[in-house]
Amino acid sequence: MIPVAKEVGSLRAIAAGGIVSPTGNPELSPEKEKQFRRELVLRALATLQQAV
């Protein structure tokens, strides 16, 4: 989705967990999935703090 986001003018975009589960990964165990989500959200928050 990053090329699409850039094409329409999004200025802060990060690759996430995929089309069908952007903030998750059904392949992982529930604990690992939560950890994955937490890291992703922290990365999103860090991106909000970056100058573009």
Partner 1 sequence: MSTTIRVVHYLNQFFAQIGGEDKGDVGPTVKAGVIGAGRALQQALGEEAEVVATIFCGDNFFAENQDQAINELLRHVADYKADLLIAGPAFESGRYGVACGAICQAAKQKLGIATVAGMDQDNVGAGLYKKEIYIVDSGATIARMVPTLQRMAALGLKLARRQAIGKPADEGYVTRGIKRNEIAAKRPAERAVDMLLAKIAGKPFHSEIAPPKFAGGKPAAPLGDLKRAVIALVTDGGLVIEGNPDKIEPGRPTRFTTIPITGVQSLGADQYDAVHSGYDTASANLDPNRLVPLDTMRELAREGVIGAVHEFIHSTGGAHAAVENAVQIGRQIADQLKAAGVTGVILTST
Q: What residue ranges bind partner 1 (CB under 8 A)?
A: 1, 4-5, 7-9, 11-12, 16-17, 19-26, 33-34, 37-38, 40-42, 44-45, 48-52
Smallest separation (angstroms) from partner 1 to the CB of 20: 5
Residue 31 and residue 42 in contact, taking contact as beta carbons nearer than 8 Å: no
Smallest separation (angstroms) from partner 1 to the CB of 22: 4
Residue 44 and residue 50 in contact, taking contact as beta carbons nearer than 8 Å: no
Smallest separation (angstroms) from partner 1 to the CB of 18: 9
CA dist 29 and 24 (Å) reads 11
